[in-house]
Amino acid sequence: MASEDIWILGIHMTKFGKHPDKDTVDLATEAALGALADGGVTMRDVGVLAAGNLMGRGAGIGQLIQKQVGQTGIPVYNVANACATGATALRTAIMAIKAGECDMGLAVGVEKLAGAGLLTGGSRATEKDTWERSGRYGEVAALDGRVGTETMPGVFAQIGMEYAHRYGGIDFELFAQIAEKNHAHSTLNPLASYQKRFTLEEIMNDVMISFPNTRPMCSANCDGAAAAVVVDDSKLKTLSGSQQRRAVKVSASILTTDPWEEACQVLPNVNTLTRNAAAQAYEASGIGPEDLDLVELHDCFATAELVHYDNLMLCEPGGAADLFRSGATWRDGRIPVNVSGGLESKGHPIAATGIANVWEICHHLRGEAGDRQIEGAKVGLAHVIGLGSACGVHVLERAAA
């Protein structure tokens, strides 16, 4: 028996940016209460809570949220899956409903990252004065910077350069043009961290972080939270007409990891697991890439957005540069990508990102996206990837009514 359809009943995203006066719990609470209010329900209606906060490192963000919004004794799942943490929380709530354990779930993702700087890369502070082997490479000293790079901008730069090498016709300027698009899009999003348009020259001449990614081509560290309330079909039918009309159908909720491949042992391969997730999502929803009205994809770096055009099958294999050059992924193009401004300008509060991108899609499908509304949007796709790796893809459809 096919399980019931799942619906997003309520969803909320806080302003992304600097929130010096709010802590992680404040932001998560604002998102959770916002999502419940948006759905017209309360914590008493919710049967499962899944929550993520990567920097909290196991502090039990779910229980901390309960203490602010309602301790009803329901099961809490604190989840972590790198940058796919938010999508994992959402999928966990969906799975609980699909398993028949409850008919309504709440998913929350939150992060405080403003001013965090470079988040990855090995420190050399603790090096000893005599060589001693340790670790799985039997290393006598830190490897970051000596055996390649562990920084995210560097890893994703190589991912873009590998694609450029394989297919050709792709250069620094093309990657910079992708950032130009996303920053231009962000000017219409009042909740984005940055709403500043950059010229191509400004982007290319800005501080180089890891060639070819300059600073405005990297995701913006910021504070933010997002939350979603999900319900099954039977529950939705008991709710009001306006709740039913604003509900957004979750036509596919997919999570994948890396299948074994030779090359991904030394450089993460973000392509195969994304392609697999997209294929599964299209199969599950009966929706093809040509049916999508908009896409929010994981542009943690400009170099990443390009490869995901291909991975999400928005173009023919190898056709990502041609797709971009055609203008298709600008907001007035055939398949608008990251009309929110994307991670490069909207910002990337890690655990919130995988729900915030779903919020953006829902906003358009409900016709509530204001100045940046993609007119007549009926179907959208939200994609995140966390290195390690995990890939989340959600396909969303406007209610038929």
Partner 1 sequence: MTAQIPLVDYLVLDPEPHLIAHECDGCAARYFDRRNACASCGGTAFHDEDVTTVGEVRAFTIVSLAAPGIPVPFVAAVVDCGGTSVRANLVNVPPDPAHVHTGMKVRLATQVVGTDSSGVEALGFGFEPLEGATDGQ
Which positions touch partner 1 (CB under 8 A)? 118, 121-125, 128-131, 133, 136-141, 143-149, 151, 153-154, 157-159, 161-162, 164-165, 172, 207-213, 260, 262-263, 265-267
d(CA 89, CA 359): 14
To the nearest whole angstrom, how small is the minimum distance from the Cβ of residue 269 to partner 1?
10
To the nearest whole angstrom, how small is the minimum distance from the Cβ of residue 320 to partner 1?
16
To the nearest whole angstrom, how small is the minimum distance from the Cβ of residue 390 to partner 1?
16
CB-wise, 261 or 283, nearer to partner 1?
261
| Listed residue (160, 184, 183) closest to 172, CA to CA | 160
CB-wise, 203 or 379, nearer to partner 1?
203
Amino acid 209 reads I
To the nearest whole angstrom, how small is the minimum distance from the Cβ of residue 118 to partner 1?
6
d(CA 31, CA 347): 16
| Listed residue (278, 310, 295) closest to 160, CA to CA | 310
d(CA 81, CA 53): 10
Residue 253: cis peptide before it, omega within 30 degrees of 0 = no
Assigned token pair, 13: 């995203």
To the nearest whole angstrom, how small is the minimum distance from the Cβ of residue 176 to partner 1?
13
d(CA 181, CA 179): 5
CB-wise, 1 or 125, nearer to partner 1?
125
Residue 212: cis peptide before it, omega within 30 degrees of 0 = yes
To the nearest whole angstrom, how small is the minimum distance from the Cβ of residue 310 to partner 1?
16
Helix (H, G, I), strand (E, B) or coil at 200: helix
d(CA 261, CA 182): 32
To the nearest whole angstrom, how small is the minimum distance from the Cβ of residue 257 to partner 1?
11
Helix (H, G, I), strand (E, B) or coil at 379: strand
Classify burial at 237, counting beta carbons within 10 Å of its beta carbon; exposed 0-12, middle 13-18, buried 19 or more: exposed
By the 8 A CB rule, do 293 and 328 touch?
Answer: no
d(CA 100, CA 234): 11
CB-wise, 122 or 333, nearer to partner 1?
122
CB-wise, 184 or 208, nearer to partner 1?
208
To the nearest whole angstrom, how small is the minimum distance from the Cβ of residue 220 to partner 1?
15
Instruction: Return the axis-axis angle of helices 24-39 and 61-69, rounded to nearest 10°.
Output: 60
CB-wise, 92 or 274, nearer to partner 1?
274
CB-wise, 301 or 330, nearer to partner 1?
301
CB-wise, 244 or 257, nearer to partner 1?
257
Which parts of 40-151 fold into alpha helices (H)? 61-69, 85-98
d(CA 137, CA 144): 12
To the nearest whole angstrom, how small is the minimum distance from the Cβ of residue 209 to partner 1?
5
To the nearest whole angstrom, how small is the minimum distance from the Cβ of residue 108 to partner 1?
31
CB-wise, 270 or 393, nearer to partner 1?
270
Radius of gyration of the chain (CA): 21
CB-wise, 127 or 283, nearer to partner 1?
127
Q: Strands, E, within 245-378: which ranges?
A: 248-257, 294-296
| Listed residue (344, 345, 374, 376) closest to 360, CA to CA | 374
